[in-house]
Chains A and B, each alone.
Chain A
Amino acid sequence: MVGFNLTKEQLLQQQLFRDFAEKEIKPIASQMDEEEKFSMELLDKLKRYGMMGIPYDKKYGGAGSDVLTYALCIEELSKIDGSTGVTVSVHTSLCCACINDFANEEQKEKYLRPLVDGRKVGCFGLTEPGAGTDASGQQSFARLVDDHYILNGQKVFTTNSGFADVFVIFALTDRSKGTRGISAFIIERDTPGLVVSKDIPRMGIRAASNAEVSLVDVKVPKANLIGSEGMGFKIAMTALAGGRIGIGAQAVGIAQGAINEAVKYVKERKQFGRRISQFQNTQFKLAELQTKVDAARIMVWRAAVAKDNHENYAPLAAMCKYFASEVANDVTRVCVQLLGGYGYSREYPLERMHRDAKITEIYEGTSEAMKMIISGAMKIN
Chain B
Amino acid sequence: MKIVVCAKQVPDTTEVRLDPKTNTLIREGVPSIINPDDKAGIEAALQLKETVPGCMVTVVCMGPPQADVALREALAMGCDDAILITDRAFGGSDTWATSSIIASALKKMDFDLIITGRQAIDGDTAQVGPQIAEHLGIPQVSYAEKIELEDDKLVVWRQFEDRCHIVEVAMPCLVTALAELAEPRFMSVGGIVDAYNTKEVKIWSYEDVKDTLDAANMGLKGSPTKVIKSFTKEAKGAGTLLKDLTDDEAVAAIMTKLQEKHII
A residues whose Cβ falls under 8 Å from a Cβ of B = 7-9, 12-13, 16, 19-20, 48-51, 53-54, 58, 62-65, 69, 73
**B212: shortest Cβ distance to chain A, in Å?**
31
> What would be 8 A-B contacts, judged by CB atoms less than 8 Å apart?
A9-B195, A9-B197, A16-B186, A16-B192, A20-B186, A49-B186, A49-B188, A63-B188
Beta-carbon contact of A65 and B187 below 8 Å:
no
Beta-carbon contact of A16 and B189 below 8 Å:
yes
Q: Complex formed: what's the CA distance from A13 to B73 in Å?
A: 10
Q: Complex formed: what's the CA distance from A283 to B240 in Å?
A: 38
Tell me which residues from 167 to 200 in chain B have a Cβ below 8 Å from any Cβ of chain A.
Answer: 186-193, 195-197
What 10 A-B pairs are tightest by C-beta distance, nearest first?
Answer: A50-B189, A63-B189, A63-B190, A9-B196, A50-B188, A50-B190, A64-B193, A49-B188, A16-B187, A49-B186
**B67: shortest Cβ distance to chain A, in Å?**
13
Specify which chain B residues have a CB less than 8 angstroms from the CB of A65 in the assembled complex: 189-190, 192-193
Specify which chain B residues have a CB less than 8 angstroms from the CB of A58 in the assembled complex: 190, 193
Q: Complex formed: what's the CA distance from A58 to B197 in Å?
A: 12
**B78: shortest Cβ distance to chain A, in Å?**
11
Beta-carbon contact of A49 and B193 below 8 Å:
no
Q: Interface size (B, Cβ < 8 Å)?
A: 15
Q: Complex formed: what's the CA distance from A12 to B74 in Å?
A: 11
Specify which chain B residues have a CB less than 8 angstroms from the CB of A19 in the assembled complex: 186
**B230: shortest Cβ distance to chain A, in Å?**
30
Beta-carbon contact of B190 and A64 below 8 Å:
yes
Beta-carbon contact of B189 and A12 below 8 Å:
no
The answer, among A12, A20, A48, A53, for a CB contact under 8 Å with B76, is A12
A54 and B196 in contact, given A8-B69, A12-B69, A12-B72 (Cβ under 8 angstroms): no
Beta-carbon contact of B186 and A12 below 8 Å:
no
Specify which chain B residues have a CB less than 8 angstroms from the CB of A9 in the assembled complex: 192-193, 195-197
Q: Complex formed: what's the CA distance from A20 to B192 in Å?
A: 14
Beta-carbon contact of B190 and A12 below 8 Å:
no
Q: Complex formed: what's the CA distance from A50 to B193 in Å?
A: 11
8 more CB-based (< 8 A) A-B contacts, given A9-B196, A13-B189, A58-B193: A7-B196, A12-B73, A12-B187, A12-B192, A16-B188, A49-B186, A50-B190, A65-B190
Beta-carbon contact of B186 and A13 below 8 Å:
no
Q: Complex formed: what's the CA distance from A63 to B187 in Å?
A: 12
Specify which chain B residues have a CB less than 8 angstroms from the CB of A8 in the assembled complex: 69, 72, 196
Beta-carbon contact of A51 and B189 below 8 Å:
yes
Closest A residue, CB atoms, query B76 = A12
Specify which chain B residues have a CB less than 8 angstroms from the CB of A63 in the assembled complex: 188-190, 193
Beta-carbon contact of B192 and A54 below 8 Å:
no
Closest B residue, CB atoms, query A64 = B193
Tell me which residues from 220 to 260 in chain B have a Cβ below 8 Å from any Cβ of chain A.
Answer: none
Q: Beta-carbon contacts of B68-93 to A below 8 Å, as 1s and 0s?
A: 01001100100000000000000000
**A248: shortest Cβ distance to chain B, in Å?**
20
Specify which chain A residues have a CB less than 8 angstroms from the CB of B195 in the assembled complex: 9, 12
Specify which chain A residues have a CB less than 8 angstroms from the CB of B193 in the assembled complex: 9, 58, 63-65
A54 and B189 in contact, given A8-B196, A9-B196 (Cβ under 8 angstroms): yes
**B211: shortest Cβ distance to chain A, in Å?**
33
Q: Complex formed: what's the CA distance from A101 to B190 in Å?
A: 20
Q: Which of A8, A19, A20, A69 is the most central at the interface, judged by chain B CB atoms within 10 Å of its CB?
A: A8
**B33: shortest Cβ distance to chain A, in Å?**
9
Q: Complex formed: what's the CA distance from A7 to B69 in Å?
A: 12
Q: Complex formed: what's the CA distance from A16 to B73 in Å?
A: 9
Q: Complex formed: what's the CA distance from A118 to B191 in Å?
A: 14
Q: Complex formed: what's the CA distance from A62 to B190 in Å?
A: 7
Q: Complex formed: what's the CA distance from A312 to B131 in Å?
A: 60
Specify which chain B residues have a CB less than 8 angstroms from the CB of A54 in the assembled complex: 189
